[in-house]
Amino acid sequence: MKAIVVTDQTAGPAGMKLVERPEPQAAINDVVVQVHAAGFVNTELEWPSTWADRAFRDRTPSILGHELAGVVTALGYGTTGLSIGQRVFGLSDWHRDGTLAEYVAMEARNLAPLPGDVDFTVGASLPISGLTAWQGLFQHGRLQAGQSVLAHGAAGAVGSVVTQLAREAGAYVIGTGRAADRQKALDFGANEFVDLGNDTLEDIGGVDLVFDVIGGDIQKRSAALVRAGGTLVTVVAPTDVRPADGLTVDFVVEADRVQLSEIVQRVRDGRLRPNIGKVSPLDDAVATFNSTERRAGKTVIRVRP
Ligand SMILES: NC(=O)c1ccc[n+]([C@@H]2O[C@H](COP(=O)([O-])OP(=O)(O)OC[C@H]3O[C@@H](n4cnc5c(N)ncnc54)[C@H](OP(=O)(O)O)[C@@H]3O)[C@@H](O)[C@H]2O)c1
């Protein structure tokens, strides 16, 4: 099968290669999925799990990509809950070969059914950004109706879902980003927008929840805006930054079938609008990831036409 692999940790996106690899086999509780579309997060090349297995052994050449939509083609020993021919979407294990390939073997529990009226490209755009937003807002941030949320990068893949889910939950949302992203963030439902390059973040006063996707100085300044009892949620990296009288949660998103189903249902009934940027075929994926062009929204690789 065709797959995009990396072998050199120092090479960046230039080290990505489209190669032939053996088709994967389904282990216990696995399914094999024929991938129709796959998402990709640029920072994946920096994650230790891209390069090493859970015992910290080199696992290169590793196949990139951890979110997908496709069709189940095989079941492993003991696998229940999904069947051959079923349309699915989900989030694959960080430490295993991924989804930028024609086939992937992954645990069935990390997938949810993809309804027949949802396109594979849309399905592949949802798992990482959708689950990250859901878990950050509702599990870790314990968001309640009437609270305020500072949604950083509100025009980006995660931030646009944060903005939409928080609004639906009855929160007041202040989106942030670059000047060019103002209208896009407002269109996703932000009540107001802070241009981080030209406006003063501190002018917003206090918020109950900061959803950080940027880190660094922006994260520090945002922590100072968290009201008593509020939360700074960050998905950038582990951090020591704390609000004066609140909580910090840094986390890595987990697969969750029930949450995936909640997210896709919102897409079907129009409560959640996918944020898809460039869509490329697998043959062009390496060039797409190496392009210096700004890629707004989720880049989706269409593995099968
Ligand atoms: N821990 C987890 O489980 C998890 C899960 C998902 C994502 N993440 C992380 O979350 C981050 C965002 O992911 P994503 O997929 O949402 O990326 P994305 O689509 O690129 O969104 C990030 C948005 O923030 C904007 N932004 C970044 N730095 C900015 C700055 N200094 N000033 C103004 N705007 C800025 C970006 O604009 P530009 O494009 O112009 O920079 C973009 O619109 C990444 O670091 C990713 O690794 C972590």
> Which segments in the chain show pLDDT lower than 70?
none
Statement to judge: residues 172 and 217 lie in one domain: yes
CA gap 225, 253 in Å, rounded: 24
Q: Whose CA is nearest to atom 40 of ligand 1?
A: 178
Please report the pLDDT score of residue 292 as a whole number.
Answer: 87
CA gap 140, 249 in Å, rounded: 7
Please report the pLDDT score of residue 227 as a whole number.
Answer: 98
Statement to judge: residues 289 and 246 lie in one domain: no
* Residue spans of alpha helices (H) in the chain: 120-125, 127-134, 157-168, 182-187, 216-223, 257-268, 285-290
156-174 pLDDT per residue, tens: 999 999 999 999 999 999 9
Statement to judge: residues 118 and 132 lie in one domain: no
Please report the pLDDT score of residue 293 as a whole number.
Answer: 86
Please report the pLDDT score of residue 8 as a whole number.
Answer: 94
Rounded distance from Cα 184 to ligand 1 centre (Å): 15
Q: What CATH number does the domain containing 23 carry?
A: 3.90.180.10
CA gap 79, 38 in Å, rounded: 23
DSSP for residue 272: S
102-140 pLDDT per residue, tens: 999 999 999 999 999 999 999 999 999 999 999 999 999
Question: Which ligand 1 atom minimizes the distance to the CA of 158?
Answer: 16
Statement to judge: residues 117 and 143 lie in one domain: no
Structure tokens at 165: 């889910």
Please report the pLDDT score of residue 42 as a whole number.
Answer: 84
- Hey, which of 164, 178, 263, 275 would you mutate to test ligand 1's pocket, going by the most ligand atoms within 8 Å of its Cβ? 178
CA gap 160, 130 in Å, rounded: 9
Residue 94 belongs to domain spanning = 2-126+274-302
Q: Whose CA is nearest to atom 47 of ligand 1?
A: 43
Structure tokens at 269: 């009934």
The set of protein residues with a Cβ atom below 6 angstroms from ligand 1 is 41, 43, 128-129, 132, 153, 155-159, 177-178, 181, 196, 213-214, 218, 235-236, 252-253, 294
Structure tokens at 48: 């230790």
Half-sphere exposure of 169 (CA within 13 A, CB side): 20
Is 267 among the domain residues?
no
Statement to judge: residues 194 and 178 lie in one domain: yes
Conformation bin of residue 29: beta by default, left when phi > 0, alpha when psi is -120 to 50 = left
Q: Whose CA is nearest to atom 31 of ligand 1?
A: 214
Q: Which of 26, 67, 99 is nearest to 254 (CA)?
A: 67
Statement to judge: residues 89 and 161 lie in one domain: no
Count of the separate structural domains present in the chain: 2
Rounded distance from Cα 214 to ligand 1 centre (Å): 6
Statement to judge: residues 138 and 61 lie in one domain: no
Question: Which ligand 1 atom minimizes the distance to the CA of 235?
Answer: 1
Is 163 among the domain residues?
yes
Statement to judge: residues 241 and 210 lie in one domain: yes
* 3-class secondary structure, 46: helix
Is 266 among the domain residues?
no
Rounded distance from Cα 88 to ligand 1 centre (Å): 26
Statement to judge: residues 145 and 227 lie in one domain: yes
Q: Whose CA is nearest to atom 15 of ligand 1?
A: 157
Statement to judge: residues 195 and 239 lie in one domain: yes
